Amino acid sequence: MSTILIVEDHEKNMKLVRDILQHAGHATLEAATGREGLRLAVDARPDLVLMDIQLPDIDGIAVLREIRRNAALDAVPVLAVSASVMPDEQQKIVSSGFDAFITKPIQLQQFRETVQRMLREGRPVR
């Protein structure tokens, strides 16, 4: 069983993602702020992190930078999950070092496939 950290500040989005992942047999950890997500990532070393970009304290890009500075978390894939649909914003998110990008609203099949691929293959070689 994989452990997946969900960093998401909207309750309905958190519930949806948690329910999908738990139904597929994954354990979930939850954080509603970037700082809480970073603390959980360091303490629990999950198999995968799903990171919202717009968070109430520090944004998901800043959290990703901190995760990548921690050698113990280097192999953990981090997926951006964002409602941002502007091409320049998506490019900024992808170029900041996320391993994949999932758009909101979540497309169930694509979401499941991306999560499974990241758990199976890990971080892409850069």
Residues 68-82 have pLDDT tens digits of: 999 999 899 999 998
* Sheet hosting strand 78-82, strand order edge to edge: 27-31, 3-7, 48-52, 78-82, 100-103
Bigger pLDDT: 112 or 85? 112
Give the helix/strand (H/E) hosting 30.
strand 27-31
Across the chain, mean pLDDT equals 93
Query: What letter represents residue 91's amino acid?
Result: Q
With 0.75 as the threshold, say if the pTM is over it. Answer: yes
> Is the separation of the CB atoms in 94 and 86 below 8 Å?
no
What DSSP state is assigned to residue 25?
Answer: T
Distance separating alpha carbons of residues 122 and 73, to the nearest angstrom? 12
Residues 79-96 have pLDDT tens digits of: 999 887 678 888 888 889
What's the full length of the chain, in residues? Answer: 126
Ordered structural domains, the chain, with CATH: 3-121 (3.40.50.2300)
